[in-house]
Structure 1
Amino acid sequence: MYRLLIVDDEEIITDGLYEVFSSYNPEQLDVYKAYSATEALEWLARSRIDIILTDIAMPGMNGLELIEKVQNFWPKCKVVFLTGHNNFEYTYRAIQMTNVRYLLKTEGYDKIIDTVEVVMNEIYQEKFTSKWIERSREQLYAYQFMAQGEYMRHLLQDSKYLGEGYGNIT
């Protein structure tokens, strides 16, 4: 299950997105909402969030400042910025961050849903890849351990000090 946190100071947008995503895929997506960056940080202090869907331009702490703080504590958290502004500075700063997407609010619910779905698939692939890497490491360690054991047996069998009498020095 993935956890999605929706952050926007406009209640109608936050509540609308919350309703859409709560009914979209309830068996795979646990949805939370916050009406400010400060409230979002409170959620993040209590639980792991996989995806943040946030406005960039908010009073107080904006979305960019929020995500800078989030990435310090949750570097794997994916972010989808939503904005009603077509401000190049925001866009430029957003695309410089890791694990971040940028959408205009005018692109509509379908585009936002598609983007969250893509992000969920990315998270799944990253976890899948991570598990395979971990399994490969475990197998590598096991093979190294077996190879060391074979090497030690070979050394002991070929030792001139450990001949047929095991321990009789000639």
Structure 2
Amino acid sequence: MQKRKQLEAALTPQQRIAAQMIVDNEWSPVLNGGKKKTNDELAAEIGIGRSQFYEWKKNDDFIAYVNYLTDKQLESMRSEVNVAIMKLINPSGDRIPSVKALDLYMRRFALLTDRTVVEDHRSAASEHRIKTDEEIAKDLAELDRMINGEITPH
């Protein structure tokens, strides 16, 4: 609830109504088989010009509020999604259960997870070999010769 109030505080009442109308319009074909309205039709219903409507749709606060409302609408559909998954897992008649639906169910309840195993077959001795003082002195001498232009790097 706190997030909603925070988002709403950044918008005018008219912008909040417009955001809800946009979300309702987007969900209309899904929820009631309705036809989506054009942006011009929405702007006219809201009582603003088309250019103002497009400016609002580019406003970060307005976008965040529309996204919030859309997420809430999607959350409200969770039980329908769960029922649809269960119908695929336990179909009627002689139909075979959906493997994908079973996978989704198992992952949802953390009963099935992806596991990656990385094995390192490098030997510890070659990876962490410590150079002797003599080897270090030789490397330093070679670097000095490179710096002085006596030899070219290999």
- TM value normalised by structure 2: 0.23
More helix by share: 2
Give 1 or 2 for the bigger CA radius of gyration.
2
